[in-house]
Structure 1
């Protein structure tokens, strides 16, 4: 069984790393995940609908009430974000994140692909003007044109932008070590990114529950913050 010490050595000796991160990376910053017993979806009927394009169009007020609770502007990058950003100063590092909280950007990681977008990037659906997220938390209509505001995130029922997909594929192809952190790795197309890795690249997963991945990989079953605490940079 691979230990935390072995995992740290793999990260330290890798020349080019791409981190594929999920909600478990942000929970130590006080941001709840989606599907756990304490997650955002717990106790909600049809939560995917509330985070869908259909809900935005048909019931914008219901969409707005749900999305507002996803904002945690007081959250700060934790040891995982910080150590990844520090590694990026020493060697080529990419992050492809499912998270929409922007914490990798707050940590000043230079090469981040926000695969599902960013809650703090808000625009008007009518005139397409950018709007401060602080204003969005006060009202969901644009004071200039009356159009509905929305965060620039990928909703259920929406497609992914080609440039985002291409950036993510490039990040995976570039790595000799791919580290999956804090995600069940079951949501497509994020979980299909491994298909684009170099055949010689190693894959490691750091998660509190074991993952089922088709490709050969090293599983580290622990809290990711415990492992990143052991990385000295």
Structure 2
């Protein structure tokens, strides 16, 4: 199919799919929280620079502040706690964004299956969204030795800001009891934010895996991936598994919305790629969802498109049967692996590839 250019606002091709979907999955990343008061860590006044000013002699790259290996070095550990205190301070004053509210609206319409988020800011909690926090929560602190967990208080934040890790109250209590009984002392754990770092296992990984498997069995019919750069292997695997199930239906679609485009790895996964701000995409999408006349026109275009796709498929099958060049099994396999993709840059369609043949009703 030839390339095409048209303003996204007047031609939102996923609207009819989104309107009719009954089981929508969301996968979200840091990009959906920026407008809520949690800026990019790497900006000139971002958190990384604040940490560097407080610990000028320690050289740490951004990713290393989220790597469990830093606990092997005392100076790097102090940097970590300072960073976590500053992040907690921002989160405490942050508010849910328009994108968060959009997910809430989907839930109120009875279309939301679940939201899987990489974010640790817990902004979904104030909206009571059914959310799985893939990387933990900044609302809690946990002991590095025992299973104790506590609310992330202002006292914890103040101690962290100075690079100090407070001792675990439960460990201290157990140690005091052992001393009273005349037993030898044991190691006392310290408290840290209840988040999952690189190079450490997720304490709830098995439970999350079971939940993902359960959701996939319910056969979602639409997935919207927003504000993430798609770097975590486990999340990438889940998105691809969900996409295969969604694409097994005639009208199932997968949408990607982010400021930066995905790599070629995702060409056969995402049906629509939107390069831009998630809140702006939500605003434009809400306009169209509220425009019943435009929705009716979109449905008509969709029916015509599906009709043309079916005619092309029938013609192709007739030619194949006539020439007997390709076996039926091979035709079916190739038909099932063909995908539809539309790439949008700055909310404009920049490329349309060959559509996936429609299935017979």
**TM bin (shorter chain):** 0.7 to 0.9
Alpha-carbon distance in 2 for matches of 1:36, 1:6 = 34
Aligned residue number for residue 10 of structure 1: 17
CA contact (8 A) 1:7 1:220 kept: no
Match of 1:219 among 264, 269, 273: 273
- The alpha carbon displacement at 1:78 in A equals 1.1
What aligned pairs does 1:45-124 form with structure 2 within 5 A after superposition?
45-59=60-74, 60-71=77-88, 72-93=91-112, 94-109=114-129, 111-124=130-143
* Distance apart, 1:8 and its partner CA: 4.1
How many Å apart are 1:45 and its aligned residue? Answer: 3.2
CA–CA separation in structure 1 for the residues paired with 2:15 and 2:44: 30
Q: Which residue of 1 aligns with 2:325?
A: none
Aligned residue in 1 for 2:209: 165
SS at match of 1:189: helix
Aligned counterpart, 1:204: 255
The alpha-carbon distance between structure 1 residues 183 and 35, as it changes in their structure 2 partners (threshold 3 A), is farther
- Cα-to-partner distance string for 1:128-172 (whole Å, 9 max, x where unaligned): 322221132122313622631112211111123211233234445
Give 3-state SS (helix, strand or coil) of 2:193's partner. strand
Query: How high is the TM-score relative to the length of structure 2?
Result: 0.58
Task: Using structure 1 for the length normalisation, give the TM-score.
Answer: 0.86
What SS does structure 2 have at the residue aligned with 1:6?
Answer: coil
Instruction: Determine the structure 1 residue equivalent to 2:312.
Output: none
Deviations 1:37-92 (Å, cap 9, x if unpaired)?
Answer: 77655787323222222223543323211222222211010111111012112124
**SS in structure 1 opposite 2:13?**
helix
Question: Which residue of the other structure, out of 147, 151, 155, is the alignment partner of 1:132?
Answer: 151
Structure with higher Rg: it is 2
Report SS of the residue matched to 1:138: helix
Question: Corresponding residue for 2:240?
Answer: 195
Partner of 1:185: 230
SS in 1 for 2:211: helix
Q: Is the 8 A contact 2:144 2:191 kept in 1?
A: yes
* RMSD over equivalenced CA pairs, Å: 2.6
Q: 1:96 to 1:39 in 2, by over 3 A?
A: farther
* Aligned equivalents of 2:229, 2:45: Cα separation in 1: 16
Q: Find the residue that maps to 2:124 and give its secondary structure.
A: helix
Whether the 8 Å contact between 2:31 and 2:227 is mirrored in structure 1 is yes
1:108–1:226: structure 2 CA closer, same or farther, 3 Å change rule?
A: same
Give the number of equivalent residue pairs. Answer: 232
Cross-structure match for 1:24: 31
SS state at 1:164 partner: helix
Conserved 8 A contact 1:98-1:114: yes
